[in-house]
Structure 1
Amino acid sequence: MKKSRSWRAGMLAIALSAVLASPSYGADPNKPEIRFGATAGPYSDQIRYGIKPQLEREGYKVTIVEFSDYVQPNLALADGALDANAFQHEVYLKKFSEDRKLALSGLVKVPTAPIGLYSHKHKRLDELKDGATVSLPNDVTNQARAIILLQQLGWVTLKPGVDPVRSSERDIASNPHKIKLVPLEAAQLPRSLDDVDYAFVNGNFALAAGLKLTDAQLLEKIPPYYLNLVAVRSADLNKPYVADIAKAYKSAEFERVIDQRFAGFSKPSN
Structure 2
Amino acid sequence: MSLFRRHVVLASLAAFLALPALAQQPAAAKKELVIGTTAGSNIEVLRRGIQPQLEQKGYKVKLVEFSDYVQPNHALAQGSLDANYFQHIIYLRNFAEKNKLDLAEVVQGPIAPLGLYSRKFKTVAEVKEGARIAVPNDPTNLARTFVFLEQYGLVKTKAGVDPLKVTEKDIADNPKKLRFVPLEAAQLPRALDDTDFSVINGNFAISSGLKLTDAVALEKTPDYYLLVAAVRTPDKGAPWVADLQTAFRSPFFKQVLDRDFAGYARPAALH
Task: Tell me which interval the TM-score lies in, with the shorter structure as reference length.
Answer: 0.7 to 0.9
- Which aligned pairs between 1:85-234 and structure 2 lie closer than 5 A? 85-234=84-233
Hey, what does 1:25 align to over in structure 2? none
Instruction: Give the C-alpha shift of residue 56 in structure 1.
Output: 1.3
Hey, what does 1:44 align to over in structure 2? 43
Q: SS in structure 2 opposite 1:166?
A: coil
Partners of 2:52 and 2:158 in 1: how far apart? 49
Partners of 2:175 and 2:110 in 1: how far apart? 36
Hey, what does 1:242 align to over in structure 2? 241
Paired AA for residue 174 in structure 2: N
Partners of 1:127 and 1:98 in 2: how far apart? 41
Contact 2:123–2:217 (CA under 8 A) maintained in structure 1: no
Paired AA for residue 42 in structure 1: S
Partners of 2:28 and 2:254 in 1: how far apart? 28
Contact 2:148–2:220 (CA under 8 A) maintained in structure 1: no
Name the stretch that deviates more: 225-234 or 167-176: 167-176
Hey, what does 1:11 align to over in structure 2? none
Paired AA for residue 55 in structure 1: L
Q: SS in structure 1 opposite 2:268?
A: coil
- Which aligned pairs between 1:56-67 and structure 2 lie closer than 5 A? 56-67=55-66
Partners of 1:266 and 1:127 in 2: how far apart? 26
Partners of 2:167 and 2:197 in 1: how far apart? 18
The answer for unaligned runs of 5 or more in structure 1 is 1-27
Instruction: Give the C-alpha shift of residue 30 in structure 1.
Output: 3.7
Percent identical residues = 54
Paired AA for residue 40 in structure 2: G
Paired AA for residue 230 in structure 1: A
Q: What's the TM-score once normalised by structure 2's chain length? A: 0.86
RMSD: 1.3
Paired AA for residue 59 in structure 2: Y
Instruction: Give the C-alpha shift of residue 222 in structure 1.
Output: 1.0
Partners of 2:149 and 2:241 in 1: how far apart? 38
Partners of 1:258 and 1:128 in 2: how far apart? 32
C-alpha distance after superposition, 1:146-193 (max 9, x if no partner): 101222333222233311221011222332322110011111111111
Runs (4+) off by over 6 Å: none
Partners of 1:260 and 1:29 in 2: how far apart? 37
Name the stretch that deviates more: 135-144 or 45-54: 45-54
Q: What's the TM-score once normalised by structure 1's chain length? A: 0.87
Instruction: Give the C-alpha shift of residue 118 in structure 1.
Output: 0.8
